[in-house]
Structure 1
Amino acid sequence: MAPEQAAGAPALPEGSADSTPDGDTILDADLQASSAAHDAAEGAIARLYGEPLLRLPNDLYIPPDALEVFLDAFEGPLDLLLYLIRKQNFNILDIPMAQVTLQYLEYVEQIRKSNLELAAEYLLMAAMLIEIKSRMLLPKRQDDLVEDVGDPRAELVRRLLEYEQIKTAAQQVGSLPQLDRDFLRPSLPVEQGLAPVWPHVDPHDLQRAWMDVLRRAKLTQHHRIGREELSVREHMSAILRTLQSNRFVEFSDLFQGQASVPVVVVHFVAMLELAKETLIEITQAEPFAPIYVRLAYSPA
């Protein structure tokens, strides 16, 4: 049996063996540490590697413009001026110069503090607005000798209207679909055919080459009276012997050593007979290119 409990001592429920004074002390310490860490995290200015940073290091240097965020919302003075007019639904043909100039100067004062170079262009427009406002405050002279210069705002209105037209046109052009931005041009690989593509040559090129050989043969001929027997078969054999030692022979080189016109004619007829019997091939790469003669290709 379990020993009797001391008088006046509260009974412990089942499963409360960890609820000892030592356990309560450990639990309170964990809660206090967690609460202190939470309070420190809320007051931290930053986190470094997950740990809260409560104060800045003494040797930390932050440049003046390190945290500067500049939004280039306007593309120039005219853009800012047009924005102020359109935002408040002012009539662009009757601009209230006092209100617009005041709002414009407030914006210029803001950008002048951060970027003086950018503010220079805006300051020029501000001077123009102040001049127009001053001219509008002057009383009109009722003098026939002084020409009426008209509304001082006319030139500014003209520039604003032209700028708005150009800006609208630029936005419309920018909204059009553009290649490589909104769509891509499709491309499909096309396999080349296995059939050979022969060059488009003209048989007249062979005729011109033959006429050139004949012309040179006439330049070296001699007037001789005699009878000469010429054999086409012999010239065919001579052509085949020449082509066996050379892979390609140019058409004009095939007639080297043929001095007289009859010999050249017979030699040409022999070449045509060999081509007719498919023993040789006459080739040309392209129009007006040199003509070559070679032995016909015979597969093994």
Structure 2
Amino acid sequence: MSDSATLAAAEAPPPATAASPLARIYGQPLTQLPLDLYIPPDAMAVMLDAFEGPLDLLLYLIRKANVNVLDIPMAPLTEQYLVYVEAMRSQNLELAADYLVMAAMLIEIKSRMLLPRPKVDAGDDAEDPRAELVRRLIEYEQMKLAAYGINELPQAERDFEWVEVWVEKTLLRRLPEVSVLDLQNAWLGILRQARLHTHHMVQREELSVREHMTLILRHLRDAGGFVEFGELFDPQQGAPVLVVHFLALLELAREHLVEMTQVEVFEPIYLRLSDERSESRQTTA
């Protein structure tokens, strides 16, 4: 809340002599004021210090008098405060309401300090009537200093301006490479599925890695695109066939005949043929 003290011209200046005109209008000297000129009492208002409330005014008076906030002289402080409130109330009674409440508190504290204090025990300290006021002033000053520090920080559109720059560029999406750990986890998942379909019949079976390489290439060629890793294995064929099939897949990867991709970490692994020439050469062999 901004407060102002109004200064009005008390009397009109005496008539000026010819040597010192009051003013010049269009180059012509004005030696006498017009008789019908009316100057209102509040023609000139001078803005003095602005305060945000009664605590702000009290803190200003204390710092101006250079006194310790823990030992406030209530008599001169109350007198200065009442002078200010009286000047402000003559301008705007509604705005002075909060200040009148503080004035009543100051008068009460001043009166309590003039009265004799009751006797207290040797180990107890007498309560200071100013304690509550001092506490509020210290808290207010801390908040005011914190607000001042925040206001000193750089602020947009006051200390600097935002600048937006549009940059057009094409981003190449790079898919993560398949790590050995991802391949191992996928293989362990196939083995867990195979154990659910195992039986105890022991038999000898000759399996060809080259034959399974051809089966994998044929499967990928018929799919015509990406094939999920688990689709290349049939858990019902048993663990021996799955092992040979997996070795065939590793051999194809070593010879760069198949390509493994993965969209994100822990996502399914997909396979596809590297190129048609490698596929044709492997099928012929």
TM-score range, shorter chain: 0.5 to 0.7
In structure 2, distance between residues paired with 1:212 and 1:160: 71
* Alignment check: 8 A CA contact 1:250 1:292 kept: yes
Do structure 1's residue 128 and structure 2's residue 105 form an aligned pair?
yes
Aligned partner of 2:73: which letter?
Answer: I
Q: 1:236 to 1:258 in 2, by over 3 A?
A: farther
In structure 2, distance between residues paired with 1:153 and 1:251: 82
**1:66-110 Cα distance to aligned partner (Å, 9 max, x none):** xx999991122121123234445567635252x543442343345
Aligned to 1:24: none
Superposed CA RMSD in Å reads 4.6
Matches within 5 A, 1:178-217: 178=154, 180=156, 182=159, 197=174, 199=176, 201-217=178-194
Count, aligned residues: 230
Match of 2:197 among 220, 223, 228: 220
Q: Shift of residue 184 of structure 1?
A: 7.5
Do structure 1's residue 276 and structure 2's residue 254 form an aligned pair?
yes
Q: Shift of residue 254 of structure 1?
A: 0.6
* Alignment check: 8 A CA contact 1:280 1:294 kept: yes
Name structure 2 gaps, 5 residues minimum: 1-25, 27-33, 35-44, 278-285
Aligned to 1:46: none
Aligned to 2:238: 260
Matches within 5 A, 1:1-300: 73-87=50-64, 93=71, 95=73, 97=75, 99-112=76-89, 118-138=95-115, 140=116, 149=126, 152-153=129-130, 155-157=132-134, 159-160=136-137, 163-164=140-141, 166-168=143-145, 170-171=147-148, 173-174=149-150, 176-178=152-154, 180=156, 182=159, 197=174, 199=176, 201-224=178-201, 228-246=205-223, 247-256=225-234, 259-297=237-275
Q: 1:264 to 1:177 in 2, by over 3 A?
A: same
Aligned to 2:9: none
DSSP-derived class of the 2:96 partner: helix
The 10-residue stretch of structure 1 (217-226 or 79-88) with the greater mean CA deviation from structure 2: 217-226
Name structure 1 gaps, 5 residues minimum: 1-34, 36-42, 44-67
* Alignment check: 8 A CA contact 1:200 1:287 kept: no
Q: Shift of residue 126 of structure 1?
A: 0.8
In structure 1, distance between residues paired with 2:108 and 2:59: 18
The 10-residue stretch of structure 1 (87-96 or 271-280) with the greater mean CA deviation from structure 2: 87-96
Aligned partner of 2:189: which letter?
Answer: D
Q: Shift of residue 203 of structure 1?
A: 0.7
Taking structure 2 as the reference length, the TM-score comes to 0.59
Higher relative contact order (CA 8 A, sep 6+): 2
In structure 1, distance between residues paired with 2:120 and 2:241: 109
Q: Shift of residue 293 of structure 1?
A: 1.5
Aligned partner of 1:250: which letter?
Answer: E
Q: 1:83 to 1:221 in 2, by over 3 A?
A: closer
Instruction: Indicate the percent of aligned positions where both proteins have the same amino acid.
Output: 57
Q: Shift of residue 127 of structure 1?
A: 0.6
Q: Shift of residue 170 of structure 1?
A: 4.4
